[in-house]
Structure 1
Amino acid sequence: MARDRRPSSLHQLRRYVACHHVVRGWHSGEHLARTPPARGCARHLTQESIVMRVLFTGGGTGGHLYPTLSLARALLRADGEAGLCTAPRAPDDVQAPSSDAPDEVLFIGARGKVDQKLLERDGIPHVTLGSSPLRGSSVVETVGGLSRNAVATAQAMRIVSRFRPDVVVASGGYASAPAVIASAWLRAAGLLRNTKIVLLEPNVIPGHANRRLARFADEVWGGYDNTGTSHHFREKFRLIGIPVRPELVTPLSQADARRSLGLQPDGFLVLVFGGSQGARTLNVATSGMVAHRRLPAHWQILHISGERDFEWMTAERRAEPNDNRYSLLPYVDDMALAYRAADLAVCRSGASTLAELAAVGLPAIFVPYPHAADNHQRANADHFVDHGAALIMQDELLTSDSLYWMLMDTAETSKLQGLQTALRKLSHPQALAVMVERIARAKVGSLGSAA
């Protein structure tokens, strides 16, 4: 990683892309002054504007949202340096930008507090539609969902036709269906002749939406070789990796990261977390373990409970003797600090969590959420376990006692080092740079060709 926390290859790639694509709003002389071209590439520069627009769609869960957010940030111009897209103005309403808007990205997602909060935080223009899961638990739910998705697809048709993206990147989940279907129909009708459609599959087992939408895709990107064996993807699959935020890899020392979180700088630290909403099973087991088990004197527990359970857990802790080795927080704004501070994690096995842990090299005990669609969290965890990169505990077997003994067994230095070594082999640190490069290929019509 470069010291500015962006992959060095991405920096070089931006220079390459800048040579071949004049982004609207830049005079070629200004462009050349900012980014000296490689030998021979000046002849490719013209005064003619070439628009680069990327439409992102997906969401509903962090696993479907975080990878596309990471890619959107990489595509936007960073620190004034030339990128494929310029930072856009946030729209005043849900209307898509007009055809004479600056080069930009747009995100189409489902209505929901988590998705909208993250998009607003990153300043990414977004439109939320009333789409629903593709499968209902009853006939009434299914029919209602079809009706809502039909309306959402009609709305997406209007938005996509106005935005006219060069590339559509869909990260799965029911929220991605309207925009992908709309883009495919408009392309088939000749209204988006050069638009490319890419699916990003963050899980080991392809999700229901991506399986259905694969027929429309030019490429499918994933992070695990097992994903490419799906007959839905076939020759379209590219093993690239799952993009994560470059800032997750912090230059801070472990001791400094712990101090930033108000923790003791030394000792063995276990990080327990359950995603943005927390995980009740993990919270109950961890709370019971801390209350009823004598932990080794050099251990610390950083427990991120989520907002939902924080109140009752705080009340329960008040009845226990004060222990400065146990820190209970509802959330942590900067997970890079939490990852850097920890020696071992106990967590769910959602797609984004796995990609982030692999990127930072933090060993983990996975407790897959048993009710996840297609049991995909179990498949994710099994993939890491099969590669010797993690341990697994079934949700129904997790208790304060079972957690305690598993932590005691795993805390050996040699075992942690073995997990960490295997974990890094599953990391794809250049995923962002490769994805940006392949998106750039859309301008010369080679996206979808052999890697």
Structure 2
Amino acid sequence: MYRPDGPIVIAAGGTGGHLFPGQALAQELRRRGRKIVLITDERVQRFDTLFPGADIFSVPSATPKDRGISGLAKAAPAILSGIAQAFGILGRVQPSAVIGFGGYPTLPPIAAAILRRIPTCVHEQNAVLGRVNRLVAPYVHAIASTFAGPKFLRPRDEDKLVLTGNPVRDAVMTYAAAPYSAPGTGRINLLVFGGSQGARVMSDIVPGALSRLPEVLRSRLDVVQQARPEDIDRVRAVYEQAGVHAELQSFFEDMPARIAAAHLVIGRSGASTVAELSVIGRPSILVPLPHSLDNDQKANAEKLQSAGAGFMIEQKNFTEDALSERLTALLNDATTLGSAAKAALAQGAPNAVRRLADLVELLGRGEFNSAKAKQLVDGSGPSGPLLFARGEC
């Protein structure tokens, strides 16, 4: 049983790529006067400040360490325990709808919601349908998506797919469509990061690559780089020897502002990074994480590259010489950088959070059917069209 006026349950894993869109949705739903419940895994203590005012519950889960049956068998006890605990939590909070943002930590609450027949949807941030979302797709009411036709979506589930875009946080929306001017002969702002804790490969490759740039470019650089604490000293030493001005931290609280200030970004291609680059509108060199499940980061980077919004370098080809050559060409080509910034902005979905909130509230009222969906597709919903990937998109 569920209550149409009950809270919205957000199920999100412990990584920023899953939590940030969940946080964005919570912010929008709170503006609409909705109560929020977050169900996540044991890492909840690190992220409870992202969901102020929400009731937060932690349930066990596990990500299979090995592929195949053996991996699932090892993870099964924790997952089953999590489903049982989530089943009890949902019985107490009586939500109007449950939405999951992917990853194995969301499997227990989504499975429990399905068992309780609560209106349920999942959101896919990447160009590849994640394994948990793929598993539950036949049983949920709707699949919200960042990209039309994500890889591994089954034909039988296509009618559930709604193209909402990937929600971004209020902090990102502050800089949505911030004006961009390609560097001329003045200072060049370069932002380098590799995820919430910084990727080691960025510390290994980027400083040496910048040291190889022609002096006329190198002397104009203002580098902001996120690096792991254990890497900061050696990265700083390389920059100092090369005469490159650099600001180094292990974490930047104001990352959206840093993106908006950048002429060019070098980073991974996780879903949140791609969404934020697109909403703000900044050109990028993207290095997909090579061991991500199903190569989702590569698929994300390919989407931006094919749109002319970014430039992908696979990690196997990400060398100091290759990066230096690419940077020399780009930083001397204001036209290409300006065009890429414009193309990135065209890929953004600044209304994604409102579209997703509309969808969740529609589900919570028990009104998600073809007639109501058509109203949203036609643009008569409160936030404009929710596009079905099989139709207009």
Question: What is the TM-score of this pair, normalised by structure 1?
Answer: 0.74
Matches of 1:374 and 1:287, distance apart in 2: 30
* Whole-angstrom distance in 2 between the partners of 1:183 and 1:310: 45
- In structure 1, which of residues 228, 231, 239 is the aligned counterpart of residue 163 of structure 2? 239
- Kept after mapping to 1: 8 A contact 2:125/2:146: yes
* Aligned partner of 1:213 among 132, 136, 141: 136
- The one-letter code sitting in structure 2 at the alignment partner of 1:118 is F
1:387 positional shift: 1.6
Residue 298 of structure 1 pairs with residue 220 of structure 2? yes
Does structure 2 conserve the Cα–Cα contact (< 8 Å) formed by 1:228 and 1:238? no
Matches within 5 A, 1:40-59: 51-59=5-13
- Alpha-carbon distance between aligned partners in 1 of 2:364 and 2:160, rounded to the nearest angstrom: 19
Return the alpha-carbon distance in structure 2 between the equivalents of residues 272 and 401 of structure 1.
Answer: 17
Q: 1:149 to 1:281 in 2, by over 3 A?
A: same
User: Match of 1:201?
Assistant: 124
Native 8 Å contact 1:244 1:355 kept in 2: yes
**SS of residue matched to 1:76:** helix
User: Does the 8 Å CA contact 1:107/1:125 hold for their aligned counterparts?
Assistant: yes
Question: Given the alignment, which residue of 276, 299, 302 partners 2:196?
Answer: 276
Match of 1:37 in 2: none
The CA deviation string for residues 35-72 of structure 1, in whole angstroms up to 9 with x for no partner, is xxxxxxxxxxxxxx973310011214322221111101
User: Deviation of residue 322 (structure 1)?
Assistant: 8.0
Q: Is the 8 A contact 2:145 2:166 kept in 1?
A: yes
Tell me which residue corresponds to 2:305: 385
1:198 shift after superposition? 1.0
Whichever residue aligns with residue 422 of structure 1, its letter is: A
The aligned residue for residue 24 of structure 2 is 70
1:294 shift after superposition: 4.4
Quick one: distance in 2 between partners of 1:225 and 1:397? 29
C-alpha spacing 1:326/1:125, structure 2 compared with 1 (3 Å): same
Q: How far off its partner does 1:250 sit?
A: 3.6
Q: 2:145 pairs with 198, 222, 240, which one?
A: 222
Alignment TM-score, normalising by the size of structure 2: 0.84
1:217 offset after TM fit, Å?
1.2
Any idea what SS the aligned residue of 2:143 has?
strand
Q: 1:107 aligns with which of 18, 38, 54?
A: 38
Instruction: Give a deviation string over 1:191-248, Cα, whole Å, max 9, x none.
Output: xxxx310110000010000000111211111111132882163100011110001331
- 1:422 is aligned, of 339, 343, 354, to 343
**Which residue does 2:384 correspond to in 1?**
none
Question: Which one of 61, 73, 83 corresponds to residue 15 of structure 2?
Answer: 61
1:129 and 2:50 aligned:
no
Deviations 1:59-114 (A, max 9, x none): 1432222111110111114xxxxx231xxxxxxxxxxxxxxxxxx211111223xx
**Correspondence list, 1:274-423, <5 A:** 274-295=194-215, 296=217, 297-314=219-236, 316-317=237-238, 320-321=240-241, 323=243, 325-411=245-331, 412-423=333-344
Compared CA separation, residues 218 and 355, structure 1 to 2 (3 A) = same
SS of 1:155's partner is: helix
Residue type of the partner of 1:388? G
Q: 2 CA distance for matches of 1:200 and 1:408?
A: 39
- Deviation, 1:309, is 2.8
**Corresponding residue for residue 432 of structure 1:** 353
Q: Aligned to 2:260, what secondary structure does the other structure show?
A: helix
User: 5+ unaligned residues in a row in structure 1: which ranges?
Assistant: 1-48, 78-82, 86-103, 188-194, 256-265
5+ residue gaps, structure 2, are 180-185, 377-393
Go from structure 1 to structure 2 and tell me whether the alpha carbon gap of 1:352 and 1:220 turns closer, same or farther (over 3 Å shift).
same
Question: Relative to 1, partners in 2 of residues 1:206 and 1:254: Cα closer, same or farther, differing over 3 Å?
Answer: closer
Change in CA separation of 1:448 and 1:275 when aligned onto 2, cut-off 3 Å: farther
Q: Is the 1:274–1:306 Cα contact (8 Å) retained in structure 2?
A: no
* Structure 1 residues 147-187: Cα deviation after superposition (integer angstroms, max 9, x where no partner): 11111111111111111111101011001110011111112
Q: Aligned match of 2:116 in 186, 198, 201?
A: 186
Question: Relative CO higher for 1 or 2, CA cutoff 8 Å, sep ≥ 6?
Answer: 2
Deviation string 1:107-154 (CA, Å, 9 cap, x unpaired) is: 111223xx5322334323322222011462476543220111111111
Q: What one-letter code is carried by the residue in structure 2 that aligns with 1:271? A: L
**Aligned residue in 1 for 2:45:** 116
* CA–CA distance in structure 2, aligned partners of residues 179 and 251 of structure 1: 33
Deviations 1:333-388 (A, max 9, x none): 01122011101101000000000100000111110000000111111111111122
* Shift in Å, 1:298: 2.2
Q: Provide the C-alpha distance between the structure 1 equivalents of 2:315 and 2:12, rounded to a whole number of angstroms.
A: 27
The aligned amino acid for 1:402 is A
CA RMSD of aligned residues (A): 2.5
- What does residue 85 of structure 2 align with? 155
Contact 2:200 2:228 in 1 (8 A): no
Work out the number of aligned pairs and report it. Answer: 359
The letter for the 1-side match of 2:300 is N
Partner of 1:145: 75
Rounded Cα–Cα distance in structure 1 between residues aligned with 2:361 and 2:104? 27
Matched, 1:446 2:367: yes
CA contact under 8 A between 1:275 and 1:306: conserved in structure 2?
A: no
The match for 1:44 is: none
In structure 2, distance between residues paired with 1:430 and 1:339: 19
Partner residue in 1 for 2:96: 166
Cα separation, 1, equivalents of 2:62 and 2:323: 37
